[in-house]
A = this chain, B = another copy of it.
Amino acid sequence: MPVETRVITVTGKEDCGIVDITEMVSEEVKNSKIRNGTVTVFCIGSTGAISTMEFESNLSKDISEMLEELIPLNKDYHHHKTWGDYNGGSHLRSFLVGPSLTVPFIEKELTLGTWQQIVYINFDRIEKVRKIVLQIIGDF
């Protein structure tokens, strides 16, 4: 029965580092034996997130500024008392954007729009190497 798991490793810069992972996801789907189905893109860890956007540097700046306005990183969060790692804002952003995205594919092609890329975002205050699970489910 057709389930194929792939794990990709992605490095995201600190404080809203956005990485276009569309090609990596697309490649893994193409290299699988599954023709039609869904790929669930799941970020392991609670200070990162997955979504889609038009991946271009100006919009990346806008996303960073929007999140800084809504959920500032430099704020005295309660969470800082727990571990002293000062990444409360990183956690809040991750919670809100979410760690999981499920994308359909048809004949091995992801059903993305032309200006729609799959992105991983690192919200932590330090650069992070992160594992992202791709769970590919469907039929041959």
Chain A interface residues (CB < 8 Å from chain B): 1-3, 5, 36-38, 40, 42, 44-46, 51-54, 56, 58-59, 61-63, 65-66, 70-71, 77-82, 88, 91-92, 94-104, 106, 111-113, 115-116, 133, 135, 137-140
Contacts and interface: CB of A to CB of B under 8 A. Distances in A.
A25 B105 CA distance: 18
A56 to B, nearest CB: 5
Copies of this chain present in the complex amount to 3
A3 B140 CA distance: 10
A35 to B, nearest CB: 9
Interface of A is mostly: mixed
B3 A46 contact: no
